[in-house]
Structure 1
């Protein structure tokens, strides 16, 4: 078993209007000894913006802005900008997030060169209803029945009088191009899917129709172990190691007391990331402490970013959808353990 250290809470809600109901699920970008945190800030009524804080080293907060860094500006994100992730390729920061309009939750992209000014590119995942998705995806093979459960039962039936699109969240870019292409993960529940394109402009309606026609070919990971048996989703941006791309993702166990979210780990092939090399058969860490067990959503650890200091990987996560905490692990120890569970 891996030795994990829970470092504790580093950010909590404040009395400021934009974050008076919770802070969670941060995007993390490390530059030397500086760690930039672009976090989901929630005001009462469940409206989200992106706040900003800066760390010196992995844990010491040295700056925190008193107003949002990024706010909703379009109809598709009018109810919130949620759960950001960030990477940097060349001189461009790629910030992905979930745009929420009160009904639909869809992966969106913004870019920046300075972490101050952001250009929004809008929703970049498919804009289709579940019926349209099902019609296309079934052409390539039978779909897991969980797709119907999550999208018809959970999303559509909750909003019978309004159009609900296929929810597509947890949009996460790899931190460099692979074979000359931008590669990213996204999540149509219950699985994690993968996409590669030379340019974001390729993500047209026609591209997504063809992608969905061959949907089963693009499923990267499915639920496998008990702690993730409900569904899985992307967590932190992939980390390049000699052994492969380290993926810290979230797994959900549907228990009699509700969903339990754990942090999980796997390795993907460096040259061929759709190839899974290994996966831990147990959670990397799970809800155990009071502030992970009780909050806006109970029993949640939701990893969304990492930083590396002196060989130790710091994993930043949302705790019970209420606050931001950190866990750490020796990176070499984690890779060695993963290699014991090759697929």
Structure 2
């Protein structure tokens, strides 16, 4: 079972007309409502600091997107903890409000493809500085909007001294609680049930205080395409369970990012009831290699429309791609797994 990539890929590219998005356009959150696909995408220009912002685009068919504005929809704060850049939005809706989880840094990351991946420029600090400042640790925040134009930043929802990204909310309460997936990078090795970063799950009563016990939901598989894993897109409720799409990295190979699928119990999302052993998407095309992370497909948005699953992903940290499949075919494949 493999997702079918859109023949029009990449469906969104960097825009040379806007300095804040002339180098990178990738990793979008997507919402579908009233016949319109709304995309909130990660964007960056060719500035040396590589500040990361978000732009908005809309579409009637899920393929051909038009940018809403020449200005960013959401960007780093002037003096807040996320002033170094905001990235990788995931979108859910509660009531009339869209809640967006996003990763951020206190200091800009620099053009990371020019040095070892995941190495950042350290900000000025001293012996009294907290770890998040000394190490420019990526945290995750929560923002809320009604229109993707006007925003309220609610603040950090992860532990400050942990690199905890891929934070994704479930789109509804389960047993009276909110739930999220997250990936604390430091929770590995002695004292933890995993040797590589994994997907964890945690509950909350109010979306901001995540004090429910955190449980490892899924671990990577040594020697496979998914030695290291993390959540990708918001869980989708189906008749057979919560469908989750996640990414895996072959640390022992070329470091390529691929895509896996699993099902969680509808009433107890801490239970994995099905998980495919093989990936459903991998980097294949030039636009998935000729970017700033070569060999990367990284989903961050998904919607279901008339039994079609749309999966939106970042390609090589430079473009936005789309892959689709029939939902019932994917669920059937998963249940056989």
SS in 2 for 1:81: strand
1:242 paired to 2:239: yes
CA shift, 1:76, in A, is 2.1
1:29 aligned to which of 28, 31, 55: 31
Q: In the TM superposition, what are the counterparts of 1:205-284 in structure 2 within 5 Å?
A: 207=211, 218-224=215-221, 226-257=223-254, 259-284=255-280
The runs of 4+ residues in structure 1 deviating greater than 6 Å are: none
Counterpart residue number, 2:146: 113
CA root-mean-square deviation: 1.6
In structure 2, the CA distance between the partners of 1:222 and 1:22, relative to structure 1 (3 Å rule), is same
Question: After superposition, where does 1:159-178 map in structure 2 within 5 Å?
Answer: 165-178=161-174
Aligned residue pair count: 293
Partners in 2 of 1:308 and 1:62 — Cα distance? 20
Displacement of 1:104: 1.2
- Listed as ranges, the matches of 1:37-116 within 5 Å are 37-44=39-46, 45=48, 46-73=50-77, 74-102=79-107, 103-116=136-149
Is 1:199 equivalent to 2:222 in the alignment? no
Residue 300 of structure 2 corresponds to 304
Q: Which residue of 2 aligns with 1:184?
A: 180
Cα separation, partners in 2 of 1:10 and 1:114, compared to 1, 3 Å: same
> What is aligned with 1:4?
4
Which stretches in structure 1 are left out of the alignment for 5+ residues? 128-164
Alpha-carbon contact 1:227-1:282 (below 8 Å) kept: no
The alpha-carbon deviation at position 91 of structure 1 amounts to 1.4
In structure 2, what is the equivalent of residue 340 of structure 1? 336
Number of the residue aligned with 1:13: 14
> C-alpha displacement at 1:220, in angstroms?
0.9
Note the residue ranges of structure 2 that are not aligned, 5 or more in a row: 108-135, 186-196
CA–CA separation in structure 1 for the residues paired with 2:208 and 2:66: 38
| Kept after mapping to 1: 8 A contact 2:221/2:228 | no
Distance, in Å, in 1 between the alignment partners of 2:267 and 2:225 is 26
Tell me which residue corresponds to 2:192. Answer: none
CA distance in 2, matches of 1:228, 1:75: 38
Contact 1:25–1:317 (Cα < 8 Å) also in 2: yes
Per-residue deviation, 1:230: 2.8
Identify which of 157, 164, 181 aligns with 1:124: 157
Q: Deviation string for 1:46-94 (max 9, x for gaps)?
A: 2101111001121122443211001111442222101111010121211
- Deviates further, 267-276 or 179-188: 179-188
Shift of 1:116: 2.0
Which is worse superposed, 194-203 or 94-103? 194-203
Does the Cα contact within 8 Å between 1:99 and 1:123 map onto a contact in 2? Answer: no
SS in 1 for 2:287: helix
Distance in 1, matches of 2:237 and 2:292, equals: 33
**In structure 1, distance between residues paired with 2:333 and 2:92:** 26
How much has 1:243 moved relative to structure 2?
0.4
- 1:149 maps to none
Aligned-residue offset at 1:255: 3.9
